[in-house]
Every structure is written in structure tokens, then in C-alpha cells.
């Protein structure tokens, strides 16, 4: 079973990452697809994400799952707060019993250099440059981490209509042994200060809040 990574955050929250190598039948033994997902690989990603919810909480109430206008799935009774992400052959899920959560998984790629000005402010680009000059990690890996961090915050917010460049500001990065924390500020209806945790697995980046 390719359970790639699992982490108990605290007594009420946990997450996991799945490396998808199975066919649909494997996942359909435990979960179902409610909406029409026609692309074969997207169907696998969709199923793997929901399968992780089952892995984290075997009694997860899938029958109560709805999709908000923003596209974020949620439970009608809010027994759990959860978030799902997928990229390539990976899916990730996080569940909390009492707090809003967001998770994002990304493949590290140099292509992100082309769009950095679309999601990073001048101060964030300066932060990126300072960290890169210290040779902490390659610039494109840092960029992927910054993007993944903002995606996790976007999913944590869950209401859509967020400017990655205007509403989400990253301030500090603390890194040790391919894991760490990014301090950020989210400003929309109100200002909230967040600490986003992350893990780096070679060409894979995982961030959650």
C-alpha cells in the first residue's frame, strides 16, 4: 500500500499523502465518485484523495459531503474540517476535528520561475532572494514552496476570491532538515496571522495550515 507519508499533527488533526499506483477498482472498494469526473487520471486523483479521508478516519461520513460554491468540499454537520489536494501521481488530505484546515501538494519544477511575479509581491521576492543567496535550496524549489504555502492558505480560507499576491503575504521561513514553518499574514475580511508547516521530499512539496 503506497501510503507515502502520514503525520499526526496533534490530538485532533492528522494528514497523509498517497502515491497513486493502483487502478480505480482498488479505491472503489471504499469510496465512490458522486460527481462526473471523466478524465481517467483525474478520476484516480479524486478517488485517492477521498480514500485518504477513509484512511485517516475509517468512519468518515462521506454521505454528508457537499461542495461549496468556491469548490471546497465540506461536511454539512461540520463534524470534521478537511482539505484535499493532488498533483501528478500524489494525493494529500488533512482532517481536523475543530479547526479550519488547508493542504497542498506540488511537484517541484523550474517552470514556476515563469509565473513568480503573478503570485509574489516585491517584499516576498526580496525574501526569496535573501534565502536563495544563502544557498538554502534551489530558487525554483523555494518558489514551489511559496506557491504551495499560498495554495494551502487559499484552501484553509475556503471561500474563493483570493488574490495570492494581494491577500496573502509571506514573511519568514524557518527550515531544518527539509521541513519547517512559514509565517504569513492573510488579509481579507480581517487580518489573520498564520504558521504554515511544510515538508520537502525531493521533487515533492507538501504544505498545510
pLDDT in the model for residue 67: 83
- Report helix, strand or coil for 2: coil
When pLDDT is averaged across residues 145-160 and rounded to a whole number, the result is 96
- CA–CA separation, 146 and 205 (whole Å): 10
pLDDT in the model for residue 33: 77
In the CATH hierarchy, which fold is given to the domain comprising 3-99?
Ribosomal Protein L22; Chain A (3.90.470)
Q: Let me know how long the chain is.
A: 209
* CATH number for the domain running over 105-208: 3.10.450.630
In the predicted structure, residue 25 carries a pLDDT above the cut 80 = yes
When pLDDT is averaged across residues 41-68 and rounded to a whole number, the result is 92
pLDDT in the model for residue 135: 62
Q: Over the stretch 168-185, which tens digit does the pLDDT of each residue have?
A: 999 999 988 899 999 999
Beta strands (DSSP E) in 88-202 are 90-96, 103-107, 168-176, 179-187, 191-201
When pLDDT is averaged across residues 62-66 and rounded to a whole number, the result is 87
Q: Over the stretch 111-122, which tens digit does the pLDDT of each residue have?
A: 999 999 999 999
- Domain residue ranges in the chain: 3-99, 105-208
Q: Over the stretch 74-113, which tens digit does the pLDDT of each residue have?
A: 888 778 999 999 999 999 999 999 999 999 999 999 999 9
pLDDT in the model for residue 35: 67
Quick check: do 3-99 and 105-208 share a fold? no
Residue 134: pLDDT band with limits 50, 70, 90 = low
Amino acid at each position: 500500500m503506497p501510503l507515502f507519508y502520514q503525520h499526526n499533527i496533534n490530538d485532533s488533526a492528522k494528514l497523509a499523502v498517497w502515491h497513486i499506483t493502483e487502478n480505480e477498482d482498488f479505491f472503489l472498494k471504499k469510496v465512490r465518485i458522486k460527481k462526473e469526473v471523466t478524465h481517467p487520471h483525474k478520476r484516480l486523483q479524486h478517488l485517492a484523495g477521498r480514500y485518504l479521508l477513509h484512511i485517516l478516519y475509517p468512519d468518515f461520513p462521506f454521505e454528508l459531503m457537499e461542495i461549496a460554491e468556491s469548490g471546497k468540499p465540506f461536511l454539512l454537520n461540520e463534524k470534521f474540517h478537511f482539505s484535499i489536494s493532488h498533483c501528478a501521481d500524489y494525493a494529500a488530505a488533512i482532517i481536523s476535528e475543530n479547526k479550519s484546515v488547508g493542504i497542498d501538494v506540488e511537484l517541484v519544477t523550474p517552470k514556476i520561475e515563469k509565473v513568480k511575479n503573478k503570485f509574489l509581491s516585491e517584499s516576498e521576492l526580496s525574501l526569496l532572494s535573501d534565502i536563495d543567496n544563502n544557498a538554502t535550496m534551489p530558487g525554483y524549489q523555494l518558489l514551489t514552496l511559496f506557491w504551495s504555502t499560498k495554495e494551502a492558505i487559499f484552501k484553509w480560507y475556503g471561500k474563493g476570491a483570493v488574490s495570492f499576491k494581494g491577500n496573502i503575504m509571506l514573511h519568514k521561513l524557518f527550515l531544518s532538515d527539509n521541513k519547517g514553518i512559514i509565517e504569513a499574514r492573510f488579509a481579507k475580511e480581517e487580518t489573520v496571522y498564520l504558521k504554515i508547516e511544510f515538508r520537502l521530499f525531493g521533487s515533492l512539496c507538501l504544505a498545510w495550515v
